[in-house]
């Protein structure tokens, strides 16, 4: 794990660094936030930032967002200043650590960050051949294409492969091709020189160089623009990249993992994805089954997420009751593990009893039908291709359902299609706790279409939920 420490902290900073080094972390020290941003832009990557609470934490986090750098920030200070700690958390810090540092606390923070997104729960029989294949090819240098529906845990599988590989001590760098605008993705991958384009105020190292001697994950690679696919293919074949605005080649040594929730063979046939790139990425294919096909994993996953968000929100941990578990196992889980995670986040906050009761489980979707297929969601038709998931918490009679559907239609009379579509999109995004990839999957639209809609609504004055993890 790579730890960046920002600030002085009256000499305690070196002590914290030594503890982190003893726990296996690679440590880099920066005097202030400007130096830290410069280091990050120049390839000095980090998995965690520990920052002096006296530094401009809010400004630093804003700069990280502007530069599309995703790193958790932990505030720390030598004084017992409750106001400073609260302010740091409000500004976006994940945690506050008091100093002088406690070795066990520093170790716990490092372990939490290391394990947060890499916990692989896969005990269902349907996952046995998947895990056997992943473990077998992990030590190799083969390019791997991980496929499956949105929310099935493709990035977690990528982290698992990296942790089992010969590159485990190198960096693991992930790029979400769907979340980065097309005109910025080339710079994100290959980097750029100062003045290469409007807004390029400083030189920036791309993800290929940052992942040198490690693993580079291309998340949702199917969303990559066709013109960029050719440059990407050349980079992975020749192991050489060229920064935007430069003519100097740079050698890189990375292992490529890629994920997609689309059928790439169909995308190739439609001319949306290069055939030669598809074959280059698909050296080994690991297909992840949807959550509805691995029912015995639901209980462990639900409890894992309940414990995770209880700790994150400072509430007591609670077991999932038998009634709640039965409700969870009866869900279609159109959004798969990500939907289950959001459901348990909400449940641990809503639970009123000693155990998480069934009433705390809010499921937007439907119960399983024959053949493990999700119930068709009730939604209003939309000429723009947006469809929403119906809210089905309990089974209802056909007569009751007809009354409910009639009421829903009557409530839309007098409103424009655009207004109904806007409410559907924003309500779904809110249900997904701001996770745009999950929302796009539920709505049945591409992440690009969703992003364009949200940009339009933002320009029109709507408040948009912050984007969560993909």
pLDDT tens by residue, 237-290: 999 999 988 888 999 999 999 999 989 999 999 988 999 999 999 999 999 999
Residue 160 structural domain: 130-288
Whether 58 is in a domain gets the answer yes
Same domain, 283 and 296: no
Query: Mean pLDDT of all residues in the chain?
Result: 80
Whether 466 is in a domain gets the answer no
The model scores a pTM over 0.75: no
Residues 274 and 226 sit within 8 Å (Cβ to Cβ): yes
What pLDDT does residue 11 have? 62
> What's the mean pLDDT in 410-431?
74
Whether 468 is in a domain gets the answer no
Enumerate the β-bridge partners of residue 259: 146
Same domain, 426 and 406: yes
Same domain, 142 and 284: yes
Pairing mode, strands 2-6 and 214-219: unpaired
- Residue 98 sits in a domain of what CATH number? 3.40.50.2300
Residue 399 has pLDDT above 50, yes or no: no
Of 84, 115, 146, the position where a domain reaches its end is 115
Same domain, 177 and 211: yes
Whether 108 is in a domain gets the answer yes
Share of the chain above pLDDT 90, in %: 34
Same domain, 85 and 228: no
Of 242, 258, 288, the position where a domain reaches its end is 288
Neighbour-count burial of 461, counting CB atoms closer than 10 A to its CB (0-12 exposed, 13-18 middle, 19+ buried)? exposed
Whether 203 is in a domain gets the answer yes
Q: Which helix (H) or strand (E) holds 220?
A: none
Same domain, 223 and 350: no
pLDDT band at 377 (very low <50, low <70, confident <90, very high): very low
pLDDT band at 358 (very low <50, low <70, confident <90, very high): very high
Same domain, 284 and 230: yes
Helix residue ranges per DSSP H, 239-316: 264-269, 275-281, 298-313
Same domain, 342 and 438: no
What pLDDT does residue 111 have? 67
Region of poorest pLDDT, from 32-41, 141-150, 442-451: 442-451
Q: What is the DSSP string of 46-66?
A: -SEEEEETTS-HHHHHHHHHH
Residue 352 has what DSSP assignment? Answer: -
Same domain, 253 and 310: no
Report which of residues 388 and 274 the model is more confident about.
274
Same domain, 227 and 80: no
Whether 311 is in a domain gets the answer yes
- Residue 320 sits in a domain of what CATH number? 1.10.8.60
Q: Give 339-357 pLDDT, tens digit per residue.
A: 999 999 999 998 999 999 9
Residue 205 has pLDDT above 50, yes or no: yes
Same domain, 201 and 306: no
- Residue 278 sits in a domain of what CATH number? 3.40.50.300
Same domain, 215 and 351: no
Domain count, the chain: 4
What pLDDT does residue 294 have? 94
Q: Give the CA angle between residues 138, 139, 140 to the nearest 5°.
A: 90
Of 288, 305, 334, the position where a domain reaches its end is 288
Whether 124 is in a domain gets the answer no
What pLDDT does residue 398 have? 44
Residues 462 and 194 sit within 8 Å (Cβ to Cβ): no
Number of other CB atoms surrounding residue 411 within 10 Å: 11
Whether 235 is in a domain gets the answer yes
């Amino acid at each position: 794990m790579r730890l960046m420490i920002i600030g002085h902290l009256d000499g305690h900073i070196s002590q914290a660094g030594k503890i982190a080094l003893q726990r296996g972390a690679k440590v880099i020290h920066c005097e202030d936030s400007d130096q830290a941003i410069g280091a990050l832009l120049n390839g000095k990557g980090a998995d965690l930032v520990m920052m002096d609470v006296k530094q401009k934490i809010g400004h630093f986090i804003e700069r990280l967002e502007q530069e599309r750098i995703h790193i958790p920030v932990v505030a720390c200070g030598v004084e017992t200043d409750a106001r400073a700690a609260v302010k740091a958390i409000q500004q976006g810090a994940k945690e506050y650590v008091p100093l002088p540092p406690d070795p066990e606390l520093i170790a716990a923070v490092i372990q939490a960050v290391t394990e947060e997104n890499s916990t692989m729960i896969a005990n269902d029989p349907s996952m046995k051949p998947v895990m056997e294949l992943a473990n077998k090819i992990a030590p190799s240098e083969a390019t791997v294409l991980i496929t499956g529906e949105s929310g099935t845990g493709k990035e977690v599988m990528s982290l698992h492969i990296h942790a089992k590989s010969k590159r485990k001590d190198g960096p693991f760098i992930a790029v979400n091709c769907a979340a980065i605008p097309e005109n910025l993705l080339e710079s994100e991958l290959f980097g750029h020189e100062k003045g290469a384009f409007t807004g390029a105020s400083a030189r920036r190292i791309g993800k290929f160089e940052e992942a040198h001697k490690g693993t580079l994950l291309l998340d949702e690679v199917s969303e990559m623009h066709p013109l960029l696919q050719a440059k990407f293919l050349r980079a992975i074949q020749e192991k050489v990249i060229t920064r935007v605005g430069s003519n100097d080649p740079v050698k890189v040594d990375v292992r490529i993992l890629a994920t997609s929730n689309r059928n790439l063979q169909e995308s190739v046939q439609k001319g949306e994805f290069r055939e030669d790139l598809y074959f280059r990425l698909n050296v080994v294919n690991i297909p992840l089954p949807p959550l509805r096909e691995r029912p015995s994993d639901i209980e462990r996953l639900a409890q894992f997420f309940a414990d995770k968000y209880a700790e994150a929100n400072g509430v007591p941990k609670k077991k999932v009751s038998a009634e709640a578990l039965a409700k969870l196992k009866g869900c279609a889980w159109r959004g798969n593990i990500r939907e289950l995670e959001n459901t348990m986040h909400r449940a641990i906050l809503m639970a009123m009893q000693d155990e998480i009761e069934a009433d705390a489980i809010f499921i937007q979707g439907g119960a399983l039908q024959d053949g493990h297929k999700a119930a068709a969601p009730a939604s209003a038709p939309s000429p723009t291709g947006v469809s929403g998931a119906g809210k089905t918490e309990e089974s209802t009679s056909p007569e009751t359902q007809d009354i409910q559907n009639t009421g829903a239609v009557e409530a839309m009379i007098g409103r424009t299609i655009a207004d109904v579509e806007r409410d559907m999109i924003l309500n779904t995004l809110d249900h997904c706790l701001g996770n745009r990839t999950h929302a796009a999957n539920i709505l049945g639209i591409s992440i690009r279409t969703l992003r364009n809609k949200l940009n339009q609504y933002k320009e029109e004055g709507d408040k948009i939920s912050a984007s969560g993890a993909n």
